[in-house]
Amino acid sequence: MDILLLQIDSPAEVPSEIACGNATDYRAPSPSAATNLGTAFFEIASARADHPAMVTKAGTFSYGWIFRAADRVRRYLCTRPGYVAGARVALHLSNSPEYLAAFYGTLLADCVVVPLPVSLEAQRRRKIHELCRPDVLISCPDDFNSQEHPSPVATLTLAENSVENTSFVPPRRKDRDLAMLLFTSGSMGMPKGVMLSHRNLLANAESILHELPICADDRALVVLPFCHAFGNSVLQTHMLSGATLLLGRALTFPSLIVEALRELEATSFSAVPEVYGMLLKYGRLGERPLPALRYMTVAGGELRYDLAAEIADRIAPASFHVMYGQSEAVARLASLPYQQLHIRRGSIGKPIWGVQLAIMDEAKRELPPGDVGMLCARGENVMLGYWQDPAATADVLSDDGWLRTGDLAHRDKDGFFYLHGRANLLVKVQGHRVHPAEIEGVVEAAFPQTSAVAIPAARGEDIRFILFLTSRDDRPIDIAKIRATCQRELPPYKLPVHYEVVDRFPLTSGHKIDRAALALLAPRILTQAAPQPHARDSLAQSQ
C-alpha cells in the first residue's frame, strides 16, 4: 500500500462579495441526471468556480480550488505504476479541504473511496485494510500516524499557483459501479463494507434535496465527520447544490456551536442526538436570534420527543427535521415533516422521496398498520451489498431489492413510522454503530478464562456500556487489568463506564446468556457506581 500525504499551500482568494454569501441565482442540475458522482461534482465546480465550497479557520476554499486539488489527486492515482480502475483508496483524513480533494480525486480517477475515521482503533483499521486491501492510503500530516505505517510516503502539495494545467478527463465508471466502501459494524460486530454505487450516492442526494430546502447560497455548519454516513450525506447534498460547508473552531463546546452559527451566518446545522442534548443543556440555543438559520436536522440515533420539541421551539422560525436512516441505504430513509413533530410524537416520519418503507414479518409479508415488525426499505439508495460477504448480504438484502434495516417498527394508518428498538444487538453511541461483541471480543481475546457481556445502559441522555464479567475457571478476575486492556484497545465511545463481576450469567430457557436480565440490573449498578465517596468525602473533610 502506498501512502500519499496531502499538504495545503494556500487557499484560493474568493471575491469578497461572493464570500459574504450574497444571493446568487445558481441552481445546480438534479443529481438524478448524472451517472458519476465525480462528474456531477466537476460540473458544479466549473459553474461555481469562484464560490466558496468550504470555509475553515485557514481560509476560504472555492469550488475551483477544490476541483484543481482533486485533479492533482486524480493525476497522482492515475499515473502510479500498477494503476487499475476500481482500486480502493483509503482516506484517513479529518473534515478538511484535503478530504474533499481526496474524495472527488479518487472518484475522478475511477477508483473506490474507503473513508476511515481518524480515531478508529488500530486493530479495527488493520482488519478493514485486510478486508479491502487498499492500493493507496491518503492522509495529511496532522492525521497521519507514521508509527503505524512505516512504508514510503509521497507528498502532494495542493497549491493555488500550480503550473500544471487542470483538465477534466471524464471517468468511465458509472451508475451501478462501486464508488464507495463505507465500513460499519455488522449485526455480529465484525466490520462490514457497505458497497455504495454512484447511483446509490446520487439517488440519496436527490431524495434529500427533495426533502430539505438546500440551495446554492446555503452555508452548513458541519460537526459530523465526513467519513460517517450522515456526515457524508451532508457533504454530498451541499456539494451537489453548489453550497458552502463551514468548519468552525472548537466546536466541542455547545455554546461555541451556537456562536459559530451566528458569526458564520450558517443557514443549516445537522448533528446526532447527543449533540442536541448538549446544545439544550449548555448551548444557550435560542437566547439570541439566529437570523440566517433556516433549518436543523437530527439523525444517527433517536432523539427523545421532548428534546426534539424543545429544539424546534428554540430555533423557530427555523425548522427542525427529525430524520432516520442507515449506512446500508447511503444515509437517510425517512423524514418527519416539521409541521408534524408535535402531532406524530416520536415518529421517524415517512419515507423520503424515491424511497419505499414497509413493515414485514419473518416471511417478508407486509404487515398492516399498527403491527410491529421488521422495518424494510427499498429504493435506488439501497446498497449493492456487503463487500465480499454474500452470506451477510443475503441476510439483509432480498432479490426484489428490499433491505431489512434491523430496526423494529410499526406504521400508523396515515403512513408515519415509529421505531421499537433493534432486532439485533447493535447500539448507537454518538451516531456510531457498536455491537457488544466488539467490546466482549477484545476482553475475551486477552483473558480467555474470562467471559464478558457488554450491556448498553442509559446514562443521562447518553447510551454507554456496562461490562459484566464472570470467570470460567473460578480464578479471581482482575478488573484493573481488564480495564487497562479496554483502554488500550477500544476508542472512548466503546469503553465500558463500569465493570461488574458476577458469579454467573443468567441464562434464558434456551441456555443463552440472558442479556435482558442483565440489562435490568444496569440502572441500579450505574446509580450505585456513579458517586465516588472517597473523592467527595475528602473534599468535604479537608481543611
Partner 1 sequence: MTADRKQLEADIVQFVQARGKRYAEVTLRTDLLESGLLDSLLLMDLIFHIEEAYGIRFDTDHVNPSNFRTIVDIVSFVLDQTPVSQRHSE
Cα(266)–Cα(260) distance, integer angstroms: 8
Q: Counting contacts by CB under 8 A, is residue 252 touching partner 1?
A: yes
Q: Choose one: 63-71, 211-219, 406-414, 481-489; the region binding partner 1 (CB under 8 A).
A: 481-489
Residue with smaller CB distance to partner 1, 167 or 532: 532
Beta-carbon count within 10 A of 501 CB: 14
Q: Yes or no: say if 67 and 61 are a contact pair by the CB < 8 Å rule.
A: no
Amino acid at 155: T
Q: Choose one: 158-166, 294-302, 489-497, 514-522; the region binding partner 1 (CB under 8 A).
A: 489-497
Cα(473)–Cα(7) distance, integer angstroms: 54
Cα(268)–Cα(271) distance, integer angstroms: 10
Chosen residue from 388, 424, 487, 528 binding partner 1 by CB under 8 A: 487
Cα(223)–Cα(257) distance, integer angstroms: 9
Q: Counting contacts by CB under 8 A, is residue 445 touching partner 1?
A: no
Q: How far is the CB of 254 from partner 1 (least distance, A)?
A: 6
What SS3 class is residue 428? strand
Q: Counting contacts by CB under 8 A, is residue 479 touching partner 1?
A: no
Q: Counting contacts by CB under 8 A, is residue 446 touching partner 1?
A: no
Q: Counting contacts by CB under 8 A, is residue 430 touching partner 1?
A: yes
Sequence-ordered strand ranges (E) for 294-354: 295-298, 319-325, 332-336, 347-351
Q: Counting contacts by CB under 8 A, is residue 536 touching partner 1?
A: yes
Cα(115)–Cα(132) distance, integer angstroms: 12
Q: Counting contacts by CB under 8 A, is residue 532 touching partner 1?
A: yes
Q: Yes or no: say if 282 and 309 are a contact pair by the CB < 8 Å rule.
A: no
Q: Counting contacts by CB under 8 A, is residue 472 touching partner 1?
A: no
Chosen residue from 493, 501, 502, 521 binding partner 1 by CB under 8 A: 493
Q: Counting contacts by CB under 8 A, is residue 117 touching partner 1?
A: no
Q: Counting contacts by CB under 8 A, is residue 488 touching partner 1?
A: yes
Q: Choose one: 95-103, 131-139, 272-280, 358-366; the region binding partner 1 (CB under 8 A).
A: 272-280
Q: Choose one: 100-108, 271-279, 302-310, 348-356; the region binding partner 1 (CB under 8 A).
A: 271-279
Segment (H or E) for 540: helix 533-541
Cα(302)–Cα(244) distance, integer angstroms: 27
Chosen residue from 170, 370, 415, 460 binding partner 1 by CB under 8 A: 460
Q: Counting contacts by CB under 8 A, is residue 52 touching partner 1?
A: no
Chosen residue from 133, 284, 288, 365 binding partner 1 by CB under 8 A: 284
Q: How far is the CB of 311 from partner 1 (least distance, A)?
A: 15
Chosen residue from 171, 186, 283, 406 binding partner 1 by CB under 8 A: 283
Binding mask 389-428 toward partner 1 (x if CB under 8 A, else -) reads ----------------------------------------
Tell me: cis bond preceding 317? Omega within 30 of 0 counts. yes
Chosen residue from 22, 339, 509, 543 binding partner 1 by CB under 8 A: 543
- 330 φ, ψ to 5°? 70, -60
Sheet holding 2-8, edge to edge: 153-158, 2-8, 136-139, 88-92, 112-115, 178-185, 191-197, 385-386
What SS3 class is residue 240? coil
Chosen residue from 305, 483, 506, 521 binding partner 1 by CB under 8 A: 483
Q: Choose one: 319-327, 409-417, 484-492, 516-524; the region binding partner 1 (CB under 8 A).
A: 484-492
Q: Yes or no: say if 287 and 95 are a contact pair by the CB < 8 Å rule.
A: no
Q: Counting contacts by CB under 8 A, is residue 495 touching partner 1?
A: yes
Q: Yes or no: say if 143 and 118 are a contact pair by the CB < 8 Å rule.
A: yes
User: How wide is the angle at C-alpha 325 spanned by C-alphas 320 and 327, nearest 5°?
Assistant: 135
Chosen residue from 186, 191, 254, 300 binding partner 1 by CB under 8 A: 254
Residue with smaller CB distance to partner 1, 208 or 427: 427
Q: Counting contacts by CB under 8 A, is residue 278 touching partner 1?
A: yes
User: Residues touching partner 1: how many (CB under 8 A)?
Assistant: 38
Buried b (16+ CB within 10 A) or exposed e, 378-401: bbbbbbbbbbebeebbeebbeeee
Q: Counting contacts by CB under 8 A, is residue 490 touching partner 1?
A: yes
Q: Counting contacts by CB under 8 A, is residue 492 touching partner 1?
A: yes
CA dihedral (109, 113, 115, 116) in degrees, to 10, reads -100
Q: Choose one: 232-240, 354-362, 401-409, 457-465; the region binding partner 1 (CB under 8 A).
A: 457-465
Residue with smaller CB distance to partner 1, 274 or 407: 274
Amino acid at 183: F
Q: Counting contacts by CB under 8 A, is residue 282 touching partner 1?
A: yes
Cα(486)–Cα(467) distance, integer angstroms: 10
Chosen residue from 253, 305, 353, 505 binding partner 1 by CB under 8 A: 253
Cα(446)–Cα(277) distance, integer angstroms: 36
Binding mask 289-328 toward partner 1 (x if CB under 8 A, else -) reads ----------------------------------------
Q: Counting contacts by CB under 8 A, is residue 539 touching partner 1?
A: yes
Q: Yes or no: say if 280 and 308 are a contact pair by the CB < 8 Å rule.
A: no
DSSP state of 31: G
Residue with smaller CB distance to partner 1, 148 or 306: 148
Q: Yes or no: say if 277 and 307 are a contact pair by the CB < 8 Å rule.
A: yes
**Residue in 264, 274, 241 with CA at minimum distance from that of residue 428:** 274
Q: Counting contacts by CB under 8 A, is residue 462 touching partner 1?
A: yes
Q: What are the grid coordinates assigned to 520, written together?
A: 435490568
Chosen residue from 129, 149, 422, 459 binding partner 1 by CB under 8 A: 459
What residue ranges bind partner 1 (CB under 8 A)?
119, 250, 252-256, 274-275, 278, 281-284, 430, 459-460, 462, 483, 487-488, 490-493, 495, 497, 530-532, 535-536, 538-543
